Amino acid sequence: MEYTIVLEPAEEGGYTARCLELPAAISEGDTRKEAIENIKEAIELVLEVTEEQAKVFGEITKVEIASA
C-alpha cells in the first residue's frame, strides 16, 4: 500500500516527515533518506495500534471511497 508523505526542512536542521493519510504518523531524520525510513516505521506503528484498538472497540470493516 502506498502513502503520501510530506518532507519539510526543520528549522533546527534535518527533516520532518508527515503522512497525509495517517495524521498520527509523524517522524523526523537528519537526512531526507533517514526521515523517509523513519516515517515508514511510524506508519507501520500507527497501523498496528489502530488495528489493536479496532479489535477492542468493535467490528473491523473496510469501505471504498471513490476519488473525485
Three cell numbers, residue 19:
503522512
pLDDT of residue 57: 73
DSSP codes of every residue in 2-17: ---EEEEE-TTSSEEE
Give the start-to-end residue ranges of the domains of the chain. 5-57
- Strand order, beta sheet including 15-19: 5-9, 15-19, 26-29
Closest CA to 46 of 8, 14, 20: 20
Three cell numbers, residue 56:
477492542
pTM: 0.77
pLDDT tens figures, 7-66: 999 999 999 999 999 999 999 999 999 999 999 999 999 999 988 877 777 777 788 888
